[in-house]
Amino acid sequence: MKKVLLLTPGPTPVPERALLAMAKPMIHHRTSEFQEILKEVEESLRYVFCTKNDVLILTSSGTGAMEGAVANLLSPGDTAIVVRGGKFGERWGELCEAYGVKVVALDIEWGKAVTPQEIETALKNNPQAKAVYVTACETSTGVSVDVKGVAAVVSKTSAVLVVDAISSLGGVEMKMDEWGVDVVVSGSQKGLMIPPGLAFAALSEKAWKLVKESKCPKYYFDYTKAKKCVEKTDTPWTPAVSLVIGLNEALKMIKEEGLENVLARHAKLAVAARSAMKALGLEIYAKSPANALTAVVVPQGVDGEKMVKNIRSQYGISIAGGQDELKGKVFRLAHLGYMNEFDLVVGISAIEMELHKQGYKLELGKGVKAAQEVFCAK
Amino acid sequence: MKKVLLLTPGPTPVPERALLAMAKPMIHHRTSEFQEILKEVEESLRYVFCTKNDVLILTSSGTGAMEGAVANLLSPGDTAIVVRGGKFGERWGELCEAYGVKVVALDIEWGKAVTPQEIETALKNNPQAKAVYVTACETSTGVSVDVKGVAAVVSKTSAVLVVDAISSLGGVEMKMDEWGVDVVVSGSQKGLMIPPGLAFAALSEKAWKLVKESKCPKYYFDYTKAKKCVEKTDTPWTPAVSLVIGLNEALKMIKEEGLENVLARHAKLAVAARSAMKALGLEIYAKSPANALTAVVVPQGVDGEKMVKNIRSQYGISIAGGQDELKGKVFRLAHLGYMNEFDLVVGISAIEMELHKQGYKLELGKGVKAAQEVFCAK
């Protein structure tokens, strides 16, 4: 008997409460019933984004909201500073290039985080840059960026700071207003615990000013149109009704647990995961590891791709392999969203058993023990 | 006790089988398990689209696929002929304008259908036009367009024919390959019976040639990228996993019933709906009515908007009101998707009761009787 357990950095497990809400008969989106749900969702999203700004709800994967954050802010010929330290940082660059935006690339060695100082220097060298694009948690490498520090630097300039918080929101602290982040984009299938299909964007006043000047073509991802709709608790196009209904339940759960507690839970899970991997003699890939997932270097003699496949096929448990240049070189264990101590215990346990089968020398249970010690610590 | 019944032209009711499939624990999209589902879905979509071409699966509402059908086919400065006979025809025009495409508008009086002859004339007068944009079933007016006839005209020219089949596919005949339609776009929440959040596009070889010349910026809705993914049973971005799983069930149901039978069922429901409305002394708004929905003129002395609201709040049954210039002037009764004779009987019955309450003179049951007569006819 295999039980499905998702320990991947998106999609993450969907709480039963959200699954059941989504399994109810379909309702129409232009009704007071749906409008009440949408209103609750909008309020809850502001709470999770730590912002007073409207949070736009888009029916797309996170990449759609990212595209919007280029097409709505900039014009062809504009310059943007793009931090590229993994697959998703590279996506910001590709998006800018697709719209004729000049990219000043800050290429960071994979596994390392950009520093606020590096961004400060890039802004000084490129004062014409209208925007800085950063990935809060680079899902491909497990690296966490000091968004607060970056925001302190960018907010002193005329440029706006755009943060991809797709795999961090709801798991890693993101104080949009307090830190002075101008644009935060996110998605539904990570810390927000529902299936993929919704994306979000929140913009500061400084960012909305830039939107007014933008000359890139846009329609489906037109943020101005979406904002007008939020103001009357509506959506510009038919939204993914069932996902919005599921999101409402997931957001209620976050509110009931309390955002601070949710973030503390993620922090503890992350410490436990790293501690477990180290106890097994494994190396954490990221120098500045994120609380959403732990990327681990595949040890010599172990087949990383086979490892991920075996754990899934034999045990029903999904961890993620490496992407692009990290294919086969790392495995990624997520601890994001609807996830508690025992999910992690199961994940660590499966990793231990598969490594053991592949001939890697370890003491079974040693990783689990290290995690338990973190959980039991005061 | 109110029972929810959706008789709106999207979202339409979702079969229990699809709801339950979507309520299962979330799975990851880069797995053989999901790939098998995606493969089945791709094959079934070809069957419903009546095409050998790949059907691209996009996570968005139908408008996203429409945007793709502009941004991927044309370049700024190109000319397109756009049939505007309702809200959704107008959307084609807005999309073209957003991308700097010159619009030759064929403005058709709302309620009437464009004729193949009118399109032939427009193409003769505008030989530089690279594309013709048509709405198969104009959801705002209930009008059906003779897509087969239009395709016969357009296929003789160098222009491509792009058809919005969002509210018709799976309910109204659409023989893409046989008729020579170049691009068909559709959505998930209509004849395909699942919640909103997925959109589709299929392109002919003639259309793919145009894609190669296109200079509009695109990324999330990049059809070329999506096609490369279909070829390896993948998606470019994280897809709406649960909706794809639900779609697989809904498409299995269409295959089990047989597409011909599905279309015949819709045709019969449409005849019954029109017959019922006429029996009540009401006027059908569309001169060339679609089999997906029936738009009915609100009779004098009846408040059309109140009517829709009352039926929803008192009985739990949703029909749609008029949009834009038709607000309060028509009501729209859909018979699209997961819908049988008795759903229509319920809908007609609710309309009769509400009209009666508002003082409209009718014989209760007369509309229901007319529908039953259609159902019982050999």
Rg (CA), chain B: 21
Distances (CA, A) of B113 to A73, B28, B119, B171: 40, 45, 11, 18
Q: Which ranges of chain A have pLDDT less than 70? A: none
Written as six digits, the tokens of A125 are: 């060298």
Contact B98 A71 (CB under 8 A): no
Which 8-state DSSP code applies to residue A154?
Answer: H
For a pLDDT cut of 90, what percent of chain B falls above it?
A: 99
Is B378's pLDDT higher than 90?
A: no
- How confident is the model at residue A325, as a pLDDT? 93
Q: What's the whole-model pTM score? A: 0.97
Contact A26 B219 (CB under 8 A): no
Q: How confident is the model at residue B320 (pLDDT cuts 50, 70, 90)?
A: very high
Alpha-carbon span B63 to A77, nearest angstrom: 28
Q: Where in chain B is the domain with CATH 3.40.640.10?
A: 16-256
Averaged pLDDT score across all residues of chain B: 97
Please state the three-class secondary structure of A306-344 as a single string.
Answer: HHHHHHHHHHCEECEECCHHHCCCEEEEECCCCCCHHHH
Contact A243 B12 (CB under 8 A): no
Quick: pLDDT tens for B340-360: 999 999 999 999 999 999 999
| Category of B253 on φ-ψ map: left (φ > 0), alpha (ψ -120 to 50) or beta | alpha
Alpha-carbon span A102 to A195, nearest angstrom: 34
CATH fold of A5-11+258-376, please?
Aspartate Aminotransferase, domain 1 (3.90.1150)
Quick: pLDDT tens for A134-183: 999 999 999 999 999 999 999 999 999 999 999 999 999 999 999 999 99
**What angle is formed at CA A12 by the lines to CA A184 and CA B226, rounded to 5 degrees?**
70
Contact B318 A27 (CB under 8 A): yes
Tokens 């339609």 found at: B181
- How confident is the model at residue B333, as a pLDDT? 98
Taking residues B201-212, what's their average pLDDT? 98
Written as six digits, the tokens of B171 are: 């309910």
- The alpha carbon of residue B378 is apart from the nearest alpha carbon of chain A, in Å, by 33
Distances (CA, A) of B262 to B14, B93, B265, B301: 16, 32, 5, 37
Residues of B in contact with A14 (CB under 8 A): 25-26, 242
Contact A189 B8 (CB under 8 A): no
Quick: pLDDT tens for B5-33: 999 999 999 999 999 999 999 999 999 99
Angle at which helices B241-257 and A241-257 pack, to 10 degrees? 150
Contact B242 A195 (CB under 8 A): yes
Nearest CB to B197; choose among A27, A197, A318 = A197
| ipTM surpasses 0.90 | yes
Residue type, B204: S
Contact A64 B8 (CB under 8 A): no
Nearest CB to B25; choose among A4, A61, A67 = A4
Q: Give the H/E segment covering residue B334.
A: strand B330-334
Question: Contact, A103 vs A132, CB < 8 A?
Answer: no
Residues of B in contact with A8 (CB under 8 A): 28
Q: How far apart, in Å, do the first and last CA atoms of chain A sit?
A: 36
Nearest CB to A195; choose among B60, B240, B312 = B240
The number of beta carbons lying within 10 Å of the beta carbon of residue B376 is 8
Question: Contact, B181 vs B153, CB < 8 A?
Answer: no
Written as six digits, the tokens of A234 are: 């509506």
- How confident is the model at residue B310, as a pLDDT? 97
Chains A, B: CB contacts within 8 A come to: 184
Residues of B in contact with A61 (CB under 8 A): 59, 220, 237-240
- How confident is the model at residue A319, as a pLDDT? 97
Quick: pLDDT tens for B147-204: 999 999 999 999 999 999 999 999 999 999 999 999 999 999 999 999 999 999 999 9
Question: Contact, A224 vs A236, CB < 8 A?
Answer: no
State whether CATH 3.40.50.1100 applies to domain A16-256. no
Residues of B in contact with A64 (CB under 8 A): 59-60, 64, 220, 237
Alpha-carbon span A298 to A60, nearest angstrom: 33
Q: Where in chain A is the domain with CATH 3.90.1150.10?
A: 5-11+258-376
Residues of A in contact with B312 (CB under 8 A): 31
- How confident is the model at residue B168, as a pLDDT? 95
The arrangement of secondary structure in B5-11+259-376, i.e. its CATH architecture, is Alpha-Beta Complex (3.90)
User: Which residues of chain A form beta strands (DSSP E)?
Assistant: 5-6, 55-59, 79-84, 102-107, 131-135, 137-138, 143-144, 160-164, 183-187, 198-203, 293-297, 317-318, 320-321, 330-334
Alpha-carbon span A199 to A219, nearest angstrom: 16
Tokens 């367009």 found at: B145
Single out the residue of B135, B132, B140, B143 nearest to residue B105, CA to CA. Answer: B132
Quick: pLDDT tens for B54-69: 999 999 999 999 999 9
Residues of A in contact with B60 (CB under 8 A): 59-60, 64, 220, 237
Taking residues B324-344, what's their average pLDDT? 97
